[in-house]
Amino acid sequence: MMSVGILFGMLFGIHWESLSFHLLGIAMLLESEAVESFTPLTFDYNTQVVVVGTSLLGFAGGAIGVLLLLRKRALIGDAIAHATLPGLALAFFVATALQIDGKSLWVLLPGAAITGLIGAMTVVAIRTFSPIKEDAAMGIVLSVFFGAGIAMMRIIQQMPDGYAAGLEGFIFGKTASMRFQDAWLIAVSGATIIGLLVLFRRQVELMCFDESLARTQGWPVTLVDIGLMAATTTIVIVGLQAVGMILIIAMLVIPAAAARFWTWRLWPTIATSSFIGCIGAASGAIISTMAPRVPSGAAIVIVLVILFSFSALFGRKNGTVWRWARRYQQRRETDQQHLLRSIYEWLELKGSKPHDFGQTRSESFLLNDLEFVRNWSPLRLARTANRFQRDGLLLQLSQNRWALTATGIQQCVRAIRQHRLLELYFAQIANLSPEAIDRGADYSEHALNDQMLAELERDIAGASIGYAVPDSLHPIGNVQSLNHQSRNEANP
């Protein structure tokens, strides 16, 4: 556990200097320390084995899951998992016929692997040789193979020593039956997969990014794809005991999808996904040992779903909370600009437009007069105005009478100047009719920076404009008449 963490940290930390990676390395060390130093006090030896084994499984599953997700093959893992059931049953039949112990993992897992791979190949074959689409092919393989498995299991249950075969344990997962060599098996398989991934990182990267480029450059895309399928099958097989065939797909899909909320780059995604898979699997295993009636697969999936939800809410990239915060911020900024402009336009209309120099306070105005230039509700106007007062842009003189402060005048002039310059640009260069201009300018001015403003000045008015505010191109107050036309009024 610890060594894998260090190895991973060393391999990737140097190449891809990403913060999340170092964090990952540290977190992994901490976690493995926790397992190794604290568990003897609380957990018995068998539990330790289970926890270490499942967390390794989560680690490798998370890594492979990202690749499956990027290849848009996430659910092939589900088809493979269900297709292992007839393999388990057949292996048991064959072993019993040959008078070998049919419950040995060394008999059952190869059987599961064979039908699992056959299932994956059947999906590909159906897609290639018939007009059946991929989703149907996966559903078919998944349910038909599973049906065959169930039919055989029912017969096994009738065999004299079959009832105790414990093959049902593979369906929902039964960590209690996990032994030391099982954890060892998972560790070896996981390490092999991670090692191969590191070895073929370039091929994998190119294949996930641009398959056609990879093909034209002569990369063996099909071979890498087959490798990916083999790795997926391996994860599924070694995970059968811990998670069970119904829910093993969660270990491939959920960590990978959760990682997408934290980073957009390939290797950090793989690292984050492995980390999430590791934590989820370990905690799920611990829960299921403490509450023995809870199937371990279900416990792991529930923890993974919680981690996913957390990522979807708070993930740095596109997390819901951040998205909402951003939208709120945008709306605030837009509102601010709109109100400042409205004040200017109203004062201009009254013949007392504020000046950027010398004036410490603008002429006063009634807040509800602004409704004439911008059809906002009185509540929204009042709320924005109150915020401006806190920010020192507006001054409340009496109940309904307000004035701009010096800072307010400055901001106000800047906002209106930007807006009108852009209007001029659209009218002169982008060839739009004047009545359409206002909304176009509305839409984009909030993204103008100083350099672009300077370019606009140069392009439109040359030096003649100086720092003055250009006159409006359209009669002020017609915003309302434009607005009532639009059916789908939505604030961008």
Choices 23-31, 383-391, 397-405, 431-439; region in contact with another protein by CB under 8 A: 431-439
402: phi then psi, degrees, rounded to nearest 5: -130, 165
Kindly identify the residues of this chain, within the stretch 47-106, that bind another protein according to CB under 8 A.
69, 72-75, 78, 82
Per CB under 8 A, does 389 bind another protein?
Answer: no
Q: Name the minimum Å distance from CB 240 to another protein.
A: 15
| Residues 13 and 22 sit within 8 Å (Cβ to Cβ) | yes
Choices 189-197, 270-278, 350-358, 426-434; region in contact with another protein by CB under 8 A: 426-434
Q: Name the minimum Å distance from CB 402 to another protein.
A: 29
Q: Which one of residues 100, 124, 140, 476 is an interface residue with another protein (CB under 8 A)?
A: 140
Q: 265 is written with which tokens? A: 């780059």
Per CB under 8 A, does 152 bind another protein?
Answer: yes
Q: Which one of residues 260, 341, 419, 420 is an interface residue with another protein (CB under 8 A)?
A: 260
Of 8, 47, 334, the C-alpha closest to 180 is 47
Choices 204-212, 313-321, 338-346, 386-394; region in contact with another protein by CB under 8 A: 313-321
d(CA 64, CA 56): 13
How many residues lie near another protein (CB under 8 A)?
Answer: 97
d(CA 31, CA 280): 12
Tell me, what DSSP letter sits at residue 201?
H
Per CB under 8 A, does 360 bind another protein?
Answer: no
Per CB under 8 A, does 323 bind another protein?
Answer: yes
Kindly identify the residues of this chain, within the stretch 168-197, that bind another protein according to CB under 8 A.
168, 171-172
Handedness of CA 272, 274, 277, 279 (dihedral sign): negative
d(CA 154, CA 152): 5
* Angle in degrees, 0-180, between the axes of helices 201-209 and 266-290, rounded to the nearest 10: 100
Q: Name the minimum Å distance from CB 36 to another protein.
A: 28
d(CA 374, CA 159): 82
Closer residue to another protein, CB minimum distance, 33 or 333: 333
* Angle in degrees, 0-180, between the axes of helices 248-259 and 76-97, rounded to the nearest 10: 150
Q: Which one of residues 30, 40, 94, 154 is an interface residue with another protein (CB under 8 A)?
A: 154
Closer residue to another protein, CB minimum distance, 142 or 237: 142
Q: Name the minimum Å distance from CB 130 to another protein.
A: 5
d(CA 39, CA 166): 28
Closer residue to another protein, CB minimum distance, 398 or 485: 485
Per CB under 8 A, does 130 bind another protein?
Answer: yes
Question: CA torsion, points 408, 410, 413, 419, in degrees to nearest 10?
Answer: -90
Per CB under 8 A, does 295 bind another protein?
Answer: yes
Q: Which long-range contacts (CB under 8 A, 24 or more apart) does 21-26 make?
A: 21/267, 21/268, 21/271, 24/271, 24/272, 24/274, 24/275
Q: Name the minimum Å distance from CB 468 to another protein.
A: 21
Q: Which one of residues 40, 147, 392, 477 is an interface residue with another protein (CB under 8 A)?
A: 147
